[in-house]
Structure 1
Amino acid sequence: MNYLVAVMTNRVRAEEAYFALRKAELPIEQLDILGRGYKTADEFGLINPNDEAEKQANGLAYWVIPFGFAAGYLFNLLTNIEIVGWLGDIGNHILGGFFGAAAGAFGAFVSGTLTGWTVGSGDAIAYRNRLNAGKYLIIAQGNGAFIERATQLIRQYEPENLQGYVETVPV
């Protein structure tokens, strides 16, 4: 499936372009307008960067927290640092393990969140920011010939940005 995303500066421009696409008899079920008064980014299914960031952080935490515990335990075992006097050697090693696990959890949260926001969400943040700024998106989805025809028609209405995407199928 191919996608075409056009960013229009205002509602009037977006509606003019949309109706030109309809007038050219392009299938209406393959066209969408996103913006105030139309579909939202969530209704369309545009990736929410916060959801992607949470998924990245949780996936990283699954591996990093146990390794952090082991590293903290081992570090305390090797250095023999007394964290709390009344816990004894084993208690201090376990407490060191908990500190290592906490450090791993924090690292997973920070790096997973940043990765999810920047890499995992693609252009979704930019499109969501434009929608929040009051702009409109026209999205066409279909085969190559359909996207070429839609591109020709939309270009006449001077979109702020025009971007094509090809959906890749995971192997």
Structure 2
Amino acid sequence: MSTYVITLKEKKLAKELLLKLREAQTPITNCDLVEPLDNRTDNEDSNLDTSEGILVNQSNFKDIKLLNPALARKDRQKALATWLIPFGFIAGLSFSQMTDLKTFANMGFPNQLEKLLGGLVGMISGALGSFFSAGGTNQETFDDLRAIRKKSEEGCWLLILELPIEIEPPWVILKETDSIEIIILSK
């Protein structure tokens, strides 16, 4: 999926651009309109309906996963935890079964719980692994996010377009629009 962030001075420019994209039959996978961080301008409805089938969600900067690394990290943690925690339990259980160590029995736990406690330790290891492995971010993306945040703080509206990877955006239409900047986040 290709993601483009188009910075615009006004909200109505986003509607005009979306109408032009619709007329050009550009396939848009997802579209979000992000209000400026310093929003003193428009207090219109929360959805921008172009009346031709494209419905754009108007969101806050902090509510978009693409613009908020903390939200993206939480989603990665949940996704990793769904398979690392059960895998850790099975690995811990298997390790306890194969080695026949008496680690927990030597600590005073009943011998029957040895394998189960090994599985629980493996499960905790999986949870810790999902927490720490989901924390990294790409420096290029971080620099782009900083530039996008600066534009939003200056009062610009952000139109985030997600297009299928094989589709090239209509650059002629995008250049005709009174946009300040077009940032390509992923291709």
Give the TM bin, normalised by the shorter chain: 0.5 to 0.7
Q: SS of the counterpart of 1:5?
A: strand
* Cross-structure match for 1:37: 39
Q: What are the ranges of 5 or more consecutive residues in structure 2 without an aligned counterpart?
A: 18-32, 41-58, 162-168
Q: SS of the counterpart of 1:87?
A: coil
Q: SS of the counterpart of 1:163?
A: strand
* Cross-structure match for 1:144: 171
The answer to whether the Cα contact below 8 Å between 2:87 and 2:123 also exists between their aligned partners in 1 is yes
Alignment partner for residue 59 of structure 1, among 63, 67, 79?
Answer: 79
Q: How many residues align?
A: 141
**TM-fit CA distance, 1:64:** 1.0
Distance in 2 of aligned mates of 1:72 and 1:55 = 25
Matched AA of 1:163: I
Instruction: State the percentage of identical aligned residues.
Output: 20
* Cross-structure match for 1:92: 114
Moved more, 30-39 or 88-97: 30-39
Root mean square deviation, CA, Å:
4.1
Q: SS of the counterpart of 2:82?
A: helix
Q: SS of the counterpart of 2:158?
A: strand
The answer to whether the Cα contact below 8 Å between 1:47 and 1:124 also exists between their aligned partners in 2 is no
Distance in 2 of aligned mates of 1:30 and 1:44 = 22
Larger proportion of strand: 2
Query: What per-residue deviation string (whole Å, max 9, x for no partner) do you get for residues 11-70 of structure 1?
Result: xxxxxx837xx9xxx845247762313484147885432222111111111111111111
**TM-fit CA distance, 1:84:** 2.8
* Cross-structure match for 1:102: 124
Moved more, 34-43 or 74-83: 34-43
Q: SS of the counterpart of 1:139?
A: strand
Query: What per-residue deviation string (whole Å, max 9, x for no partner) do you get for residues 72-97 of structure 1?
Result: 12222223222333434331111111
Query: What per-residue deviation string (whole Å, max 9, x for no partner) do you get for residues 100-122 of structure 1?
Result: 110011101111233xx449x88
* Cross-structure match for 1:13: none
